[in-house]
Amino acid sequence: MYKILVLLIVMFAILFVWFDYTSKTVGFLYNPSTNAAEYLTYENKGVYFIASNIESDLEKFFRFLSNRGVRFVIGPSTSVDGNKVLSFLEKYDLISLSPTISSTRLLKSGYIYSFIPSNETVISAFREYLKKTGCKNLLLVLDGSNREYSDDFKSLLDDFSGDFVYYTDSSSIRGISAENYDTAILTTLDKASIEIVRLLKTANEKIRVVGTEASFSKVFLTLGGRFVEGTYFLVPKIPMAQGAELELIDNWVEFIQQHRFLSTQQFRRFINTHVLKIKDRYVYFTPSGVNTEMKVYVVEEGKFKEVQ
């Protein structure tokens, strides 16, 4: 009897250690073109990361995570990268906790969850914003490397006169007659957006430039300097201590710390039936993605200031 009791205690201890380790261990998938990797340099918060570049051998990476009982991956941040990993998430039954993916198709997959609303929701908010500001001729500058995300914005041209261009480098828009447009929407990342704002404003200082969460970051402010003053953003209302991508990664890390899940199904049941308190705000998830408030910000004196 004594031996059986000792064996049970040992088994329980092993199970506890295994569960404690696996529930605190997550994959971390980043793209060098975004700021996500910076998070790995931050002070450890009690979560163990198994990190990999999106350009690595993804089959090997996801198999490695699965073999160690890991069920969650922080990232990736872009919809084009989300499309790359979806088949591996399905194959190994893992969940992607993305900071900023917003492709409606990916968010409806049941394998990718994001703190950014779906493109369907975001574009609806942009449509109302453009009506409110009286947009007459719209230029869409779309991220040519992330068409899974950017292409949905073309639907705005069903309601507003204008055109679109895919941005790959500065030559992509040098031939654009910026004086023909009163509003430009950018879906590009922060560094590219700085160059686009500079070129558009040089050609037409009155053009209203509006960015998305893709470039809503400290990098945009610090590297953009005076050139990006007056740039608008329509993004979810989030704290801006680190920038959208890094702030929302931090939100997922805190979520992992506060909640432990035995399976991906348990996670889905929880997140689809609970209102989540994320720092000083509350959000909830629908089958199409997170439901959260959208806000307009403008760059003034080197800071993002909410437009009332």
For 29-52, the pLDDT digits (tens) are: 999 988 888 988 887 667 899 999
Structural contact between residues 72 and 283, judged by C-beta atoms closer than 8 angstroms:
no
In this structure, the answer to whether residues 231 and 123 fall within a common structural domain is yes
What's the domain count of the chain? 2
Structural contact between residues 177 and 187, judged by C-beta atoms closer than 8 angstroms:
no
In this structure, the answer to whether residues 141 and 90 fall within a common structural domain is no
CA distance 42 to 36: 11
Percent helix, strand, coil in the chain, to 5, is: 45, 25, 30
My answer on whether omega of the bond before 236 falls inside 30° of 0, hence cis, is no
In this structure, the answer to whether residues 6 and 77 fall within a common structural domain is yes
Mean pLDDT of 200-219: 93
Q: Which two tokens stand for residue 199?
A: 């070129």
Q: Calculate ∠ Cα 69-41-301, nearest 5°.
A: 130
When comparing pLDDT for 268 and 46, which is higher?
Answer: 268
Please report, for the domain that includes residue 43, its CATH number.
3.40.50.2300
* Eight-class DSSP state of 255: H
In this structure, the answer to whether residues 79 and 220 fall within a common structural domain is no
Is a pLDDT exceeding 50 seen at residue 237?
A: yes
In this structure, the answer to whether residues 96 and 193 fall within a common structural domain is no
Is a pLDDT exceeding 80 seen at residue 19?
A: no
In this structure, the answer to whether residues 267 and 301 fall within a common structural domain is no
In this structure, the answer to whether residues 138 and 262 fall within a common structural domain is no
In this structure, the answer to whether residues 112 and 224 fall within a common structural domain is no
In this structure, the answer to whether residues 203 and 262 fall within a common structural domain is no
* 108: amino acid identity, one letter: K
In this structure, the answer to whether residues 286 and 302 fall within a common structural domain is no
Which residue from 165, 171, 168, 159 is spatially nearest to 184, judged by alpha carbons?
Answer: 165
Q: Which of 19-23, 102-106, 252-256, 302-306 has the lowest mean pLDDT?
A: 19-23
CA distance 291 to 116: 8
In this structure, the answer to whether residues 27 and 123 fall within a common structural domain is no
Residue 145 domain boundaries: 119-237+294-306
CA distance 249 to 35: 11
In this structure, the answer to whether residues 101 and 133 fall within a common structural domain is no
Structural contact between residues 29 and 54, judged by C-beta atoms closer than 8 angstroms:
yes
pLDDT grade for 244, boundaries at 50, 70 and 90: confident
> pLDDT (tens digit, 9 = 90+) per residue, 56-65?
999 999 999 9
As a whole-number percent, the residues of the chain with pLDDT over 70 amount to: 90
